[in-house]
Structure 1
Amino acid sequence: MALTAKKVLDAEAEAIARLADFIDEKFEACVKAILQIRGRVVVTGIGKSANIAQKIVATLNSTGTPALFMHAADAIHGDLGMIQPEDFVICISKSGNTPEIKVLVPLLKRKGSKLAALVSSTDSYLAHSADFILNAYVEREACPHNLAPTTSTTAALALGDALAVSLLEARGFSSSDFATLHPGGSLGKRLYLKVEDIYTQNESPSVKENATLKEIIIEISSKRLGATAVVKGGSEELVGIITDGDLRRMLNKYDTIEGITAVDIMTPSPLTIEPDSYAAEAMAIMQAKSITQLIVTKSGKFEGFIHLHDLLKEGLV
């Protein structure tokens, strides 16, 4: 079984790698034509190609190219009405010669929309009828009988991704643009949620450099973040951090704890983050350094704490 699985993955990987040879001026012409339309990109297909078409539509929409899906069979039973002359149609078909496609193509041409054929066979009815050809040629399916759509659908999906990302870059579509289209879930939060949106909900434990051990313990325990900032008196300039781990290490280091102050046990120059940084950046720092909290500073002045639990609660995992 493992050998079969490896053969399938190797076959599909080779097919995708081979697609790079077909990215030429014809592909660029298709990208440029889509950039010029005033309508939407309509992606259609039948069978497994219809499933791939739906995924390509989702990718286009999420990367700044308005798109919609139309099932080729439903198109000839009324759904053709969704297409406008300003739209651009991409028809996906391995053979390019299926009966439904042969019925659909003349109807699309009458609409006046530009048509691109995403096909494995460039010598097909669909390819000859199209204004643009997106060559998704594969030698054979990964299926041992060369029947089940496997390599061909993978190739079509990969070529659709190449098209979507090419359009994304040509439009100058930025991460902030992406965020406006993905406001929900952990992905959206990674793109727009900032430290300043979270840390103000927490307590802000801090002590002066000369704070006594009793004052330090009370501050850490009462604010319940497992740590306290150490600041210069009168300036709020951050000079260090004391965690509950520092307190335990202190007990092993000193024979007597009388007269110990914050400056004796603090960790100087701790890791910090600015309020306008993305919360995802705070998460990355905590994971890389195996810590559970970060001090928030603004121009070197102590502002507060952001804790790992805050980020987990927001779903940033």
Structure 2
Amino acid sequence: KKISKEMLGDSQALRKLREHLVKVAKAKTTVLLRGESGTGKELVAKAIHELSPRAKQPFIKVNCAALTETLLESDLFGHEKGAFTDASSLRKGRFEAADKGTLFLDEIGEISGSFQAKLLRVLQEQEFERVGSNHTIKVDVRVIAATNRDLETAVQRKEFRQDLYYRINVVTLRVPALRERRGDIPLLAAQFLKNFNTENDHTLTFAPEAIEVLMNCEFPGNIRELENCVQRTAVLATGPSILRTDFACYADQCLAAALWKNGQPTSEKSTTIEPSAACAAPPVGDGQAPIGPATTRGRVPDADTVIAAMEKCGWVQAKAARLLGLTPRQIGYVLRKRG
């Protein structure tokens, strides 16, 4: 029941993942989650932790792609006071924080070759030293790693250590893309709209044809992109219900509009548009990319759209940016250009 609440959907692909997830959760075995960006790998990792004997212990997450090698080493292993210029005090690392619990290493395929050797050691021996210390620290940590990279090719190209690959690839779970579980889109969209209504004190609903639009979009950014699409459309909606004409797709602002040419949805079999940011906000002026995989330049959002979002968000620029799938810098650019 807990998994069903957190991982919404009843598609065959999701049911299969749930079945495997329950079995994997019982062991201490290292798990590798594989899937495209935005599919919900962190949610799967957390579900494994919460169903495991370690459920009452810490669940610690680290985005390996977000830190340089030096910062990642300090973040994972901690450092002693004076270990480097800014080390004004002792700091425990994520491995220590996750002791007896679970450590989720997201985007593990992005770590440098030199750091891979250090990570391999702690995965094998469950021991390490803080930066600036010779004292070995023992831990009991279950590691769940995730990647959207082709690690086999990375190994062949010597970009990823083969021994580390075998160490993390004990049990592999594949997280399905949203296009493989289209039947779950209505449930997911309804939950995202419910969240929006709760956060913004609204009572918006979906008109039936609105859900039909979502069912025909590709969403290469997967669940994350669907959530952005729902939130962005909700903040700009003018009536009590979201209509199909409220979506950027329908307004011909992205390639998914091809699915609704002449107001008619295409069949699922004919959904073959190239990867693009279906329902995603296009880039603005200064060339900064919006949140989400917007790889196709579309119509530039006008100032009225941005201002409407700002008004509905209480003129909180960061919130308006998130709902529109932009960055605060892009919002500022449009507003400055408007004057």
Question: Under a length normalisation based on structure 2, what TM-score does the superposition of the two structures give?
Answer: 0.26
Question: Under a length normalisation based on structure 1, what TM-score does the superposition of the two structures give?
Answer: 0.27
Structure index of larger Rg: 1
